[in-house]
Amino acid sequence: MGLPHWSSKEAEVIELHINGVRHRVVGEPNRSLLSVLREDLDLTGTKYGCGEGQCGACTALVEGRAVRSCITPVHLVAGRPITTIEGLAQGGRLHPLQEAFLEVSALQCGYCTPGMIMSGLALLTANPDPSEAEIRRFMNGNICRCGTYGRIVHAIQRAAQKMRKEGRR
């Protein structure tokens, strides 16, 4: 796969706010957020899965809401706060959801894990005390090839408890 080709008339400077840091990228505005994250900014935690927004591996948060970065044109998120898996740990400490995934072994191959965690965080931000049915319904669009769905639900429940106890959202 070669580099994208565009004329200087099509290229734009786009300002992105990712994980609390401002980035200026030059490129075609309809390029996917995923390609900019991975190729231009070396934020490779967000994974390329299906490329059609169906599997959830590429999930990032824009203004706290889960988006499929593989189908999101970068110009639509310019200037808006974006969070990737790399932005969750603070002060050398994992986010409670990351900790919960480790504690309950909610990952095997790990490929879907960043997208699962980001989707789970979007849910917990909107609903700090979801039922099991609400978790399953919200996470329905994220695919785990290893089939650890039960442990993923358990991890989200565990993180919800931790986050409520710590007063986090």
Q: What is the pLDDT of residue 10?
A: 77
Q: Of 87, 112, 133, which residue is a domain's last?
A: 87
Quick: pLDDT tens for 36-47: 999 999 999 999
Q: Which domain holds residue 68?
A: 12-87
Residue 38 to residue 7: CA distance in whole angstroms: 22
pLDDT band at 3 (very low <50, low <70, confident <90, very high): very low
Alpha carbon distance 65, 2 (integer Å): 32
The answer to whether 2 touches 27, Cβ cutoff 8 Å, is: no
pLDDT digits (tens, 9 = 90+) for 88-97: 999 999 999 9
- What's the CATH number where 31 sits? 3.10.20.30
Dist CA 25 CA 35 (whole Å): 12
% residues pLDDT > 70 (the chain)? 94
Within a domain: 30: yes
**Domain boundary pick from 52, 87, 122:** 87
Both 20 and 65 in a single domain? Answer: yes
By C-alpha distance, which of 57, 17, 15 is closest to 34? Answer: 57
Are 68 and 103 members of one domain? no
Q: What is the pLDDT of residue 9?
A: 55
